Amino acid sequence: MEPAIEIRRLVEIMPASGRMMTKIVNKPEQATVINSPFPLPWHQQRLIYINFDLWRRLSQPQRDLLLLRTVSWLLRVKWLKPDIYQGVVIAGLIGTTIELLQQDAVGVLVAGGLSAIALHRIWRNNRSIQLEIEADEAAIQIAQRRSYIAAEAAEHLLAAIEAVTKLEKRPGLSFVELIRCQNLRAIAGLSSVSVPEALK
């Protein structure tokens, strides 16, 4: 497999927003098949690293769904979206600045602590199981626009997750991967048991 040709093909199947925000990089030295660092707010471009020596061992539908899933996850991580936690962070930062100017140590601690708690909550939301499941479901929706059937796309993504575990020589699936796999089995019609709403 020629990495440059495969990268061009993968860029073609991405949604337009993915093409603008992400970049695929060949990284043969990495132990994982596909990896993308957690996107921090100051990163303009979100990188997707692929080890093409391992990548070529997956079937094309598995590769397609794995890439679409990674792109969907990257696009779902949002630091700047209007919600209560963003408002609390901004209010806390303004409060911290005012208290610093007034040289009030207790006020600085309270306002700074408020900002820290809100930032921690935003961080947790961006790394939640719900976000992982939403990324899988978004990838399936994109795949449907690329001539896949939803159940078929879910099966390919499920097979890709399991194949990647073997290619990376990991002992088994992580807890989050097990939850994702159960949700994908339900979408594919392979299981009547869905993921509990509490975990979504």
Per-residue model confidence (pLDDT) at position 103: 77
Q: What is the pTM of this model?
A: 0.78
Q: Which residues, in sequence order, are bridge partners of residue 50?
A: 26, 34
Average pLDDT along the chain? 85
Q: Which tops the pLDDT comparison, 42 or 142? A: 142
Q: How far apart are CA 52 and CA 80, in angstroms?
A: 33
Q: What is the mean pLDDT of residues 18-29?
A: 93
Give the model confidence (pLDDT) of 43-97 as tens digits. Answer: 778 999 999 999 999 999 999 999 999 999 998 876 555 555 556 666 666 777 7
Transcribe 120-146 into DSSP letters.
Answer: HHHHHHHTSHHHHHHHHHHHHHHHHTT
Give the model confidence (pLDDT) of 142-181 as tens digits. Answer: 999 999 999 999 999 999 999 999 999 999 999 989 999 9
In 3D, which of 195, 175, 183, 121 has the Cα closest to residue 158? 183
Task: Give percent above pLDDT 70 in the chain.
Answer: 80
Per-residue model confidence (pLDDT) at position 196: 63
* Pairing verdict, β 34-35 and 46-50: antiparallel
Per-residue model confidence (pLDDT) at position 198: 60
In 3D, which of 39, 24, 31, 23 has the Cα closest to residue 127? 39
In 3D, which of 70, 47, 40 has the Cα closest to residue 58? 70
Question: Would you say residue 10 has pLDDT above 80?
Answer: yes
Q: How far apart are CA 48 and CA 50, in angstroms?
A: 7
Question: Would you say residue 113 has pLDDT above 60?
Answer: yes
Q: What is the mean pLDDT of residues 4-21?
A: 93
